[in-house]
Structure 1
Amino acid sequence: MIDRMRTLAFGSGLMTRAFRSSAINAGGYAGFQFLRLLSNLVLTRILFPEAFGIMALISVIMVGLSMFSDVGTSPAIMRSPRGDEAEFLNTAWTIQIIRGFCLWLAACALAYPVALIYEEPMLMQLLPVAALSLLIAGFNPTKLESANRHMQAGRVTLIELAVQVTGLIIAITAAWALQSVWALVISGLAAALTHLVLLNRFLPGPRNHLRWEKEAAHELILFGKWVFLSTICGFFVAQGDKLLIGKYLSLEAFGVYNIGYFLASFPLLMGGMVIQKVLVPIYRDSPPAASRENFLTLRRMRMAATGLLVSLLLIVAALGPWMVDLLYDPRYAAAGAVVTLLACMQIPMVVTLTYDRAALASGDSRDFFYLSLVRAVVLLLMLALGLSYWGLIGAILGIGLAALLTYPAVVWLARRQGAWDPLHDIAYTGLGLGVSAMLLVLHWETIQTISG
């Protein structure tokens, strides 16, 4: 037993490193979310619900800008045979800086029309300042991607937790002093600066320099053109609910919805983060199509990961209304119903979470784009129909229905990579949907309170 624990802690094998990296990333993410929860609990008592609605809109725009301009430098570094070469890394860093400046200029240009669309004049001032964090992030060293490439998660996790603590302290201090949404903007900028400084100071590896190597740029751009299109679709998958629901609800109600979204999405977001950092290197080094042994090894990992995430979603769904009543004041009571309904609707998304990473690991960013496009179109259609006929409940139900309708596209991609595992999918989808149905019946009276 002691020898086994020593191997897991210090071993250098692929599966051992994967387990260790998964544990560190999951633990770090849990700590990160705990700090976010602590921040929410304090800030919801200092600020007003509209502040969180405004900040959610700003976050949607900034995430959209980031995803609409993603040229795939991070996954390219993780999968490329040249991912450890200085010329390749410096070219990627140069592209990243150029992108950061373009993002900030785009945010400045969008501030006025966004303020008109959402009828909130403060966005004209807040968005350009908040978007400075995107400019700052452009200077983050490629040592971060190199650490992820080799599944060296320890220092990265500690740095991210330190950044979150810094942002939390500054947000609470500024909120108490200013009593304004500006506190959230200021804390975001402080966190971005702290992240940049700590990455440069504490991650091992050579410093980046401005460089443009033609061959490296060609590889990055060739791989990145499909990632760019995929992330545009990914933006609508990840933020489509906020775009449409944010227009449908008042800012106060939208702030309440985002509190519920934060609590309900913890398992899904954690799973996505761990899978991105761990499974891409594993798929790269042990592709499931290469041998039956690789497939069975990945099946065991998928079974364990999906089982954990489905269990977490069902626990969150069961306890949602009680968690909100315990943690928040009565102004946020409706968030409990959002937690239950949204957590249940994310079950089909969690079940298929691992498949698309096989395409990225093999360098097949084109097929990954096709899947992302199908997901985006179906999700937006289901959200729009749900809002039109059944309001907020219909929109959230549409999220789950969209995941089920896009399953054939997921199977198509998974089979091309030799990764499809119908036993895994049937078992967890049946279990998740069966328990979800019971939980929805249990909490249906509460859920009906968000029908408007």
Structure 2
Amino acid sequence: MPMKLWNRGGLKGRIIHVAAWTIGSYAAEAALRLLSSVIMTRILYPEAFGLMAVASTLPIAVAMLSEVGIRSSIIRKAGDLEDEFLHTAWTLQVIRGIGIWIIVVACSALLKVPAVREALPAESPLADPQMALLLSLTSSTLAIAGFQSINFFVMDRKLDARATTLCTLVSRVVSIPVMVLFAWVYDSVFALALGAVVMQVVMTALSHIIIPGIPMKFHWDRMIAGPIMSDGKWVAMSSASSVVTTLGDRFILSVLMTSVQLGWYSIALLLLEAIRSLLLKVQRKLTLAVLSALSGQERNIALRNFYRFRQPIDLAAFGASGALFTGAPYLVHVLYGSRYAESGHILSIISLNLLSLPYLFIMDMFFQNKRVRLLGVFSAVGTLSFIICLFAGSYFWGWMGAVWGVALFRWPQVIVANVAAYRLGWIAVWKEVMMLPVFGVGMLAGWSPKLLGF
């Protein structure tokens, strides 16, 4: 009976359906993002991308720290989704979005305080006079996103990505010409922020028009909101570590780097995230549902099916890491020209971060099995490793040493998590290392343009 989950009409069919839509939509979205970045780098200088990297980081950090677990509660809820449950979840989402905006605006106001500005390095992006207004504008996207239809998450629960994909792509297409036109006329970093705002407005509007489901309205039930926020506190605890390990590099580098250097870094990160975010997007859409379905299977069967699910993502991560490690300078030169050449060297280094990505799937297994204490240990290890790697790297080798820290800091966390999973019988060691040769194949692919004389 459990094996039916992996038949064409069961879990496997749904996984292939969602993965195909997710990969296809993300490929289209990544192509649009790449196109817009190529155009914008021809109009704006690297400083603008450095400023925007900082301005977009603080709102995301506050959002992660205030996570209340709405999406995971909807996906994991047993039985039907009652209207009252969805309306309460949407109301909670709206309150959270507005609250985040207020917090970020208050934080940005501190940058206007003379004592704070004097304490910052003169060349730091945080010391730029435009930063306070830029932060206020970019954080407004979170308030707007709070009004997005909760049916977005219902589609994730159903493993149906069609409507959400359409919303994402249309909003991206609409935002690009607005952003490019504003940059062309005003030559300002605010073009990047305006593009983000327009995209979120369109996506929020379309979520109520295109995505099927009940219409949203304000409703509050303490008996419903309580369990959502109770589950969310564990998500928030995990997110606290994620803030450090996923966004902390930009906070630290914003002090260590000039706006130009951070602009180079942000372009390299944009290219890396085109791959990393795709793999994470597939994982986030599917992993909880897959692990939930596999939990009823016999251990050996579940283990085999788990690695079947992971294999394409492992291949992509290791192959892409190897290709970027050797081919990044050529790629950046073709796309962005000599003005962003330093981004190619940075991309070569941080591409090693992709090697740790498949191993982080283990974290979802601990979350699914509610091993909260172990998740706390992993988060602490990841946070400590991040701080040591970045500060040690910057102390001994300057800002480029900090970049190496970004590339390598996840490995202590990976090792600890995999040892714990192995002791619980959740993973097979030989399957965890069998993808390493794919990195070498990727390196050869990255070298191929140079070997062929391009």
Equivalent residue for 2:368, pick from 356, 361, 366: 361
Q: 1:313 deviation in Å?
A: 2.3
Q: For structure 1, which runs of at least 5 residues remain unmatched after alignment?
A: 1-7, 444-452
Q: Which residue number corresponds to residue 403 of structure 2?
A: 396
Q: 1:306 deviation in Å?
A: 0.5
| Matching of residues 118-267 of structure 1 within 5 Å | 118-267=126-275
User: Is the contact between residue 70 and residue 228 of structure 1 (CA under 8 Å) also seen in structure 2?
Assistant: yes
Q: Which residue number corresponds to residue 386 of structure 2?
A: 379
For residues 249-300 of structure 1, give each alpha carbon's deviation from its aligned partner in whole angstroms, at most 9, with x where no partner exists: 1001110111011112322221111100011111112228753212211111
Say which is worse superposed, 295-304 or 111-120, in terms of deviation: 111-120
Pair 1:334-2:305 in alignment: no
Counterpart Cα distance in 2 of 1:437 and 1:114: 44
Q: Which residue number corresponds to residue 3 of structure 2?
A: none
Q: Which residue number corresponds to residue 107 of structure 1?
A: 104
Equivalent residue for 2:293, pick from 285, 299, 303: 285
Distance 1:337 1:61, change over 3 A: same
Q: Which residue number corresponds to residue 419 of structure 1?
A: 426
Q: 1:418 deviation in Å?
A: 5.1
Distance 1:119 1:432, change over 3 A: farther
Distance 1:159 1:441, change over 3 A: closer
Counterpart Cα distance in 2 of 1:169 and 1:308: 32
Say which is worse superposed, 153-162 or 197-206, in terms of deviation: 153-162
Distance 1:199 1:363, change over 3 A: farther
Counterpart Cα distance in 2 of 1:320 and 1:345: 14
- SS of residue matched to 1:151: coil
Pair 1:20-2:17 in alignment: yes
Q: Which residue number corresponds to residue 90 of structure 1?
A: 87
Q: Which residue number corresponds to residue 431 of structure 1?
A: 437
User: Is the contact between residue 355 and residue 413 of structure 1 (CA under 8 Å) also seen in structure 2?
Assistant: no
Q: 1:350 deviation in Å?
A: 1.8
Percent identity reads 25
Distance 1:89 1:374, change over 3 A: farther
Q: Which residue number corresponds to residue 5 of structure 1?
A: none
Amino acid aligned to 1:98? I
User: Is the contact between residue 96 and residue 138 of structure 1 (CA under 8 Å) also seen in structure 2?
Assistant: yes
Counterpart Cα distance in 1 of 2:425 and 2:28: 35
Say which is worse superposed, 246-255 or 305-314, in terms of deviation: 305-314
Counterpart Cα distance in 1 of 2:155 and 2:410: 32
Counterpart Cα distance in 2 of 1:83 and 1:379: 41
Q: 1:82 deviation in Å?
A: 5.1
User: Is the contact between residue 378 and residue 417 of structure 2 (CA under 8 Å) also seen in structure 1?
Assistant: yes
Distance 1:358 1:249, change over 3 A: same
Distance 1:224 1:413, change over 3 A: farther
User: Is the contact between residue 327 and residue 446 of structure 2 (CA under 8 Å) also seen in structure 1?
Assistant: no
User: Is the contact between residue 69 and residue 228 of structure 1 (CA under 8 Å) also seen in structure 2?
Assistant: yes
User: Is the contact between residue 356 and residue 414 of structure 1 (CA under 8 Å) also seen in structure 2?
Assistant: no
Q: For structure 2, which runs of at least 5 residues remain unmatched after alignment?
A: 1-5, 121-125, 450-454
For residues 322-354 of structure 1, give each alpha carbon's deviation from its aligned partner in whole angstroms, at most 9, with x where no partner exists: 11111113211111111111112431x223132
Q: 1:24 deviation in Å?
A: 1.3
Amino acid aligned to 1:406? Q
Q: Which residue number corresponds to residue 123 of structure 2?
A: none
Counterpart Cα distance in 1 of 2:338 and 2:420: 45
- SS of residue matched to 1:334: helix
User: Is the contact between residue 90 and residue 216 of structure 2 (CA under 8 Å) also seen in structure 1?
Assistant: yes
Say which is worse superposed, 187-196 or 418-427, in terms of deviation: 418-427
Q: 1:409 deviation in Å?
A: 2.6
TM-score using structure 1 length: 0.89
Equivalent residue for 1:40, pick from 37, 58, 76: 37
* C-alpha RMSD of matched pairs (Å): 2.6
- SS of residue matched to 2:51: helix
Distance 1:335 1:288, change over 3 A: farther
Say which is worse superposed, 280-289 or 409-418, in terms of deviation: 409-418
- SS of residue matched to 1:174: helix
TM-score using structure 2 length: 0.89
